[in-house]
Structure 1
């Protein structure tokens, strides 16, 4: 069934003039369906090759960018007694841009396998956190010295 028959319930017939022009155009263009189908297959193969090259280029780009960004990652080596600050992503007491999400300083009291670290604050309460959430504290000398002294006095 042709689309016109589905929509209108009867088949559509071109006027004789228009039908003649269509036949004349087909003869003038000398359409060869075999050559046209071969050209279409060749175009599809070229498109597949283009997609493959684009995929390989994208994979190469991603690999190079991963290498570049991995070079910029700083490896943190922590040891017992180091002063660190803790990133608290859930801190929403005073929402705003000026509120720091880093709290501390804390002292590392114990290190566990797989990156878990036990910290102790000034009130001597201990808790465990992920090693990915801490970084070295570079604060005032007085507070650093005070916390380190209390840490070593408690250990003895």
Structure 2
């Protein structure tokens, strides 16, 4: 009986013994470490391929759902005396889940060409014109010029080192 077993009334198992017993069990199962390592690498590669395939399938699904949703959206043709709600896109600063971003209802009093609509507020009886928003790619004017961003160098004739400033004088005198 060991002193540990006398004090704690348990047998003491050291990690070396457990490792030795595990090695013995592996030897009894007749497994080769090299084969097991190769098999594990193969399993990890298959798992990675499955993850990539699932990611690609989710991207395809998202594209199909977006395409289906976009097909269902129709251009709205507004008529006079129709009630509409106005989306307030500038409401991003106000925090709160339950705060509605839609204003209204408004009555359409006049429809102009090119998507301009005149609205009338029921409460204040004021009228204003809005243009329909069509989301699309940003327009660019001509070709874009590439500008290299280099660190500015100080002028040699001012006598100042980089980071120093001269005193500013008033133009008034």
TM-score, normalised by the number of residues in structure 2: 0.46
TM-score, normalised by the number of residues in structure 1: 0.50
Q: Which has the higher contact order (CA 8 A, sep 6+)?
A: 1
Higher helix share: 1
